[in-house]
Structure 1
Amino acid sequence: MEPSTPRPQLRVGLSPLYRTVNLGEQLGLNHLYVKDDGQNPTASLKDRASVIAVMKAVEEKMTTIACSSTGNAASSLAGNAAAMGLKTFIFVPGRAPQGKVAQLLIFGANVISVQGSYSDAFQLSAEAIERWGWYNRNAAINPYLMEGKKTVSLEIAEQLAWDAPDWVVVSVGDGCIISGVWKGFQDLYRVGWIDKLPKLLGVQAAGCSPLADAILEDRAWRPAEENTIADSIAVGVPRNAEKALRAVRESKGTMVTVSDEEILSAMRLLGRTSGIFGEPAGVTGLAGLKTLVERGVIGSDERVVVIVTGNGLKDVKNAITAAGEPIKVEPSMDQLVAELKKRQLP
């Protein structure tokens, strides 16, 4: 950034890193931490990238910025751009959750709901950006975005007193976050601020797992269907595939896939043991960690950081699916007693 570039209006980053003892006991891990990036201004890690994009757009004296997104990049761009006085055009697939679309509209974005896949939305956004000359915030196109995403690793290292964890766990969609996480730790290692590099565990939903399949089958990645409740990582044609695969392999880490049922279970587990509310894509990493601990790949004494990339309020529909409905009663003590007795409460 140039010294004269206006600084962001919103507080981005500095999210808490919790030592989650109860969750660790449930999983059989003695040193488990959760980085809750759902506490960013628009409730996802993507704020880290969007604030950089917005500042660069202001620096280049642009007035309009655009991107395609499954939801979180969109809302983060719209919010950060609104705070800096920029117009936005946001292209989302028609399946984007209402919570995320509501954020976009409240932030004043021009929302284009593309009745197709994320790839369709990406292609249309690229054509529109070219036609009207808007500033491009798209993932894996704008090189500044990774510099924003890597800041989550810088914070983790600082919060652990510059003693890097053994594993960092993250949900994976287009591959930009996991490659940014790796770059952050590499930068710290090269300048001597940490003395080891963590292994990366990348987790994808089984219904959309082009990168995990490539790692597990030791082959080049191939496009996949987008069939999962974890909308933010439902990316059948990832835009940063090669960097993501290289990051996992260089770290000597691995990837794993989890079902939608396991993702919903991870939402409940995280909330009920830690008081942290993650959206489906935000907790997919935790679901994968549970699987690898059960398989003995990750040992009980290894130090693990799970990044929760988005807040559960972005997708209340699936949160209710995960947690269940409330107990409904008439304003009657007799009915309350009967309903609680039926459930063996309190």
Structure 2
Amino acid sequence: MIFVPKTAPPAKIAQHLIYGARVLLVDGTYDMAVELTLQVAKEFGWYNRSTGYNPYMTEGKKTAALEICEQLGWQAPDRIFVPVGDGCIIGGIHKGLKDLMALGWIDHMPKIMGIQAAGSSALVDAWERGLQGWEMTPQPAETIADSISAGLPRDRNKALAAVRETAGSYLRVSDQEILNAIPVVARNTGVFSEPAAATAYAGLVKAVEQGLVASDERIVVLLTGSGLKDIRSAMQTVSTPPIVAPNLEAVKAVMSQQA
């Protein structure tokens, strides 16, 4: 049984349905959907694998850190930029890096940079104010990056620790900065990212603008989701292609207009 906000992108809902899941569209926010999963799991004795609630999620997400360091020849990067909503991924990345440090497979701890959408930046606020996770209260959350929209992040303790214990930073970026990042990432890396994923790159751009990174640093930007999951948002970043008649003259006419 899958619970998602009714506002979730259709492509994400379609994926669940195609694989045979029973999907319920919750008439409310992401946080309301999460709360409902907790109630339902308790009422019916179901296993709850919700992000930020199930501890196995951290163990799964940490493998991304292992893969990053393996692909870099066990030379850990200086910084890792991570898009953050509930905090599960950033907490997992931190756990993986700590494991590698304990094993002696990497010789330094990368600074973890948590990037949130400005319309859903509870962790940025907490980090700036020096709050602990248990001191955080629910906030309104509204952003085009639906995958990281969380008014009260469920994995907030791990998410704050990931940045504080690695001397990293939390940054917020606007929805427009996120949208701007989508085509830039695609055209320079070949990766088509959904808004939540592009948030990490937008954060790198902001960090450079604020002088938070040096030109000689080795940096990894974590892209967490395909742009095919949210075509509607992606189309906001490009022009609508013209419709042409099926003849050469029509093509020439369009080309002359664009010249």
| TM-score normalised by length of structure 2 | 0.95
Aligned length, in residue pairs: 256
1:215 to partner: Cα distance: 1.6
Partner of 1:207: helix, strand, or coil? helix
Asked if 1:168 corresponds to 2:80, the answer is yes
The answer to whether 1:102 aligns with 2:17 is no
Q: Quote the residue 1:279 is aligned against.
A: 194
**Residues 1:191 and 2:103 aligned together:** yes
120-129 or 155-164, which deviates more? 120-129
Which letter does structure 1 place at the counterpart of 2:183? R
Within 5 Å, give how 1:1-346 maps onto structure 2: 89-220=1-132, 221-344=136-259
Contact 1:208–1:235 (CA under 8 A) maintained in structure 2: yes
Tell me if structure 2 keeps the 8 A contact 1:150–1:180: yes
Provide the C-alpha distance between the structure 2 equivalents of 1:237 and 1:217, rounded to a whole number of angstroms. Answer: 16
**234-243 vs 320-329, greater mean Cα deviation:** 320-329
The Cα shift of 1:319 comes to 1.1
8 Å CA contact 1:205, 1:257 repeated in 2? yes
**What's the TM-score once normalised by structure 1's chain length?**
0.72
1:323 deviates by 2.2
- Report sequence identity in percent: 49
CA-CA distance at 1:317 after TM superposition: 0.7
Q: What code does the residue aligned with 1:194 have? A: I
Distance 2:75 2:198 in 1: 24
What is the rounded CA distance, in whole Å, between the counterparts of 1:295 and 1:338 in structure 2? Answer: 45
Q: Matches of 1:225 and 1:244 in 2, distance apart?
A: 19
Higher helix share: 2
Amino acid at match of 2:137: R
Q: For 1:309-346, what per-residue CA distance to the aligned partner results, in whole angstroms no more than 9, with x for missing partners? A: 000000011111112212322223223222222222xx
Q: State the 1:101 CA deviation.
A: 0.2
CA–CA separation in structure 2 for the residues paired with 1:218 and 1:133:
37
Distance, in Å, in 1 between the alignment partners of 2:189 and 2:31 is 35
Between the aligned partners of 1:131 and 1:100, the Cα distance in structure 2 is: 27
Assess if the C-alpha contact under 8 Å between 1:150 and 1:183 holds in 2. Answer: yes
Task: Write the distance in 2 (CA, Å) between the matches of 1:328 and 1:127.
Answer: 50
The alpha-carbon deviation at position 95 of structure 1 amounts to 1.0
Deviations 1:39-78 (A, max 9, x none): xxxxxxxxxxxxxxxxxxxxxxxxxxxxxxxxxxxxxxxx
- One-letter code of the match for 2:255? L
**Aligned partners of 1:272 and 1:216: how far apart in 2?**
34
Runs (5+) with no aligned partner, structure 2: none
